[in-house]
Structures are given as structure tokens and as C-alpha cells.
Amino acid sequence: MRIVALAILLVSVVPAAAGRAGGGVSSPDPAESRVHRVDLAGNQFLPRRLEIVVGDAVEFVNGMGGPHNAAFWPDSLPAGARDPLARVLPDTIAPLIGPLLFEPDQRWTVTFAGVPPGRYPYYCLPHVVGGMVGEIEVRSEKGEARSSR
């Protein structure tokens, strides 16, 4: 419990502008990209694993039991992915750490444009100790990206 409290304290004192420099969201071509929804509810990500194509967006939607967020482990990203991912994460509170979502239906959308294909494991900073983790598999080829629970 101390780890979670410390993590929440750390996040609350990090300036909100940290990680925003050079950040932003690339606009995908609507004809070629999709938006995938991940619900943050009951201290889990639903779906827990998601397959997308480069250029697709993932919308993290807060449910009950927040605050929740999505944060990426820098040492678990595909080779060369850290900087491109950091550039497409909007409104981060620290490098590779998305904002805390407090309100039900609050959303954070990330467009995975310009990132290398591979596995992008992530976690909820306040609830990682309880196992709130997920993974996005980014593929380069067009085709049917899917989600699985």
C-alpha cells in the first residue's frame, strides 16, 4: 500500500507540463485508421490485450473506481519506440505516463502514428500493485486488428 501511496504522491507533485514538450497527437487518416476503446474499470483494463495497426488510436475511458491512467514501461517497449511514443502521448504528467482520469467517462486518446510495430505493455500507476496492466500490440500491416480479453 505504501508503494501505491508513494506513486500517487509522486504523480501529484510532477508538473503537469512534464513530458508535453514536443508531444502531441498525430491525426490519423480517417479512411485508414480506427479508434479502439479500452475501458478502465474495476481496477482492470478491458480489453486487457489489444491489437492495432500503426496509425490507429486507442481511447482510454475511465469508469468507476479511479483515478486511473495508462503509463508505458520504457524498458519493455520495442527497440527505438521510446521517443516516437513520447511524441504521440498527449497531456502526459511525466515521460510515458498519461494523465490521471478522475471523472467517469473521462477520456485520454493516443494515436499510434509513427511508432514501430511491436508490443507496448502498460499499467495504471495507482493500481499496478493490484495487477492493473495491459498490452497493445502494434502491427505494421493493414488488416483486421482485434481485441481480446
Count of residues for the chain? Answer: 149
- List the domains of the chain with CATH numbers: 2-9+20-143 (2.60.40.420)
Q: Which residue has the cell 503509463?
A: 71
Q: Encode the chain (149 residues) as per-residue pLDDT tens digits.
A: 434 333 443 434 333 333 333 333 334 455 568 999 999 998 999 999 999 999 999 999 999 878 999 999 999 999 999 999 999 999 999 999 999 999 999 999 999 999 999 999 999 999 999 999 999 999 997 654 454 44
CA-CA-CA-CA torsion sign (39, 137, 86, 15): positive
What is the C-alpha to C-alpha distance for residues 62 and 99, in angstroms, rounded to an integer? 11
Contacts of 87 by beta carbon, 8 Å cutoff, 6+ apart: 22, 23, 24, 114
What is the C-alpha to C-alpha distance for residues 106 and 82, in angstroms, rounded to an integer? 26
